[in-house]
Amino acid sequence: MPNQPYVLISDREDPPVDAGGLKCALRRMSGGVSIITAGEGEERTGATVTSATALSIEPPCMLVSLNRSSSTWPAVARAGHFCVNILGHTHEMLANQFAGRGGLRGAERYRGAEWTQLISGAPVLHDAAAAIDCEVEEAIERHSHVIVLGRVVGICIGNGGSLVYRDGRYLAFAE
């Protein structure tokens, strides 16, 4: 097709689309940044994600996709809970820590922030833009990830704008 405004990565005559092509396409979509937390004490861990979303409003239910090889999925499975901590524009450092940058693991990732708990026992970021506390309702293993469905048991609403991720970098979304 002449004068295409995009680059065609694959069509029916080429080999199947690969992970690199899919990642390239998804980088064009901005996503809200959250930290998924689970566990208690030294058993707590978490991960930075852009894959947290509401599955339903009635009944209140969240969906998050976690890598099966991460330390977060086993912690969620053991604890039976997780919290979606929606990050504000001041939380870029925490987003990096929970993404594994700097080599911090497990409970070490919680450094430099104040944490509390709601109903499920999952760690809740004290100054999150919002926090959604969930108990695991179902887990669906597919390919490299687990789709975790959580029944919402508590919500905290904070202040300020949110942190978004696009094209490999964080951006502040102000009110």
Residue 156, pLDDT score: 96
Q: What is the homologous superfamily of the domain 32-173 according to CATH?
A: Electron Transport, Fmn-binding Protein; Chain A (2.30.110.10)
Per-residue exposure over 55-64, b if at least 16 CB sit within 10 Å of its own CB, e if not: beeeeebbbb
Residue 111, pLDDT score: 94
Instruction: Select from 117, 132, 111, 113 the least CA-distant residue to 34.
Output: 132
Higher per-residue confidence, 82 vs 167:
82
Name, in order, each residue with C-beta under 8 angstroms of 142's C-beta and a sequence gap of 6 or more.
Answer: none
Model confidence, pTM: 0.88
Name, in order, each residue with C-beta under 8 angstroms of 39's C-beta and a sequence gap of 6 or more.
Answer: 45, 75, 78, 79, 122, 123
Over its C-alpha atoms, the chain yields an Rg (Å, rounded) of 17
Min mean pLDDT across 13-17, 66-70, 129-133, 165-169 is at 13-17
Give the C-alpha separation, 126 to 104, whole Å.
20
Within 27-167, residue ranges assigned H as helices are 72-79, 92-98
**Mean pLDDT, the chain, integer:** 90
Give phi and psi for 146, each to the nearest 5. Answer: -120, 130
Q: Which two tokens stand for residue 134?
A: 């969930």
Give the C-alpha separation, 172 to 43, whole Å.
31
Domain residue ranges of the chain, discontinuous segments joined by +: 32-173
Q: Are strands 81-86 and 115-117 parallel, antiparallel or unpaired?
A: unpaired
Give the C-alpha separation, 144 to 66, whole Å.
9
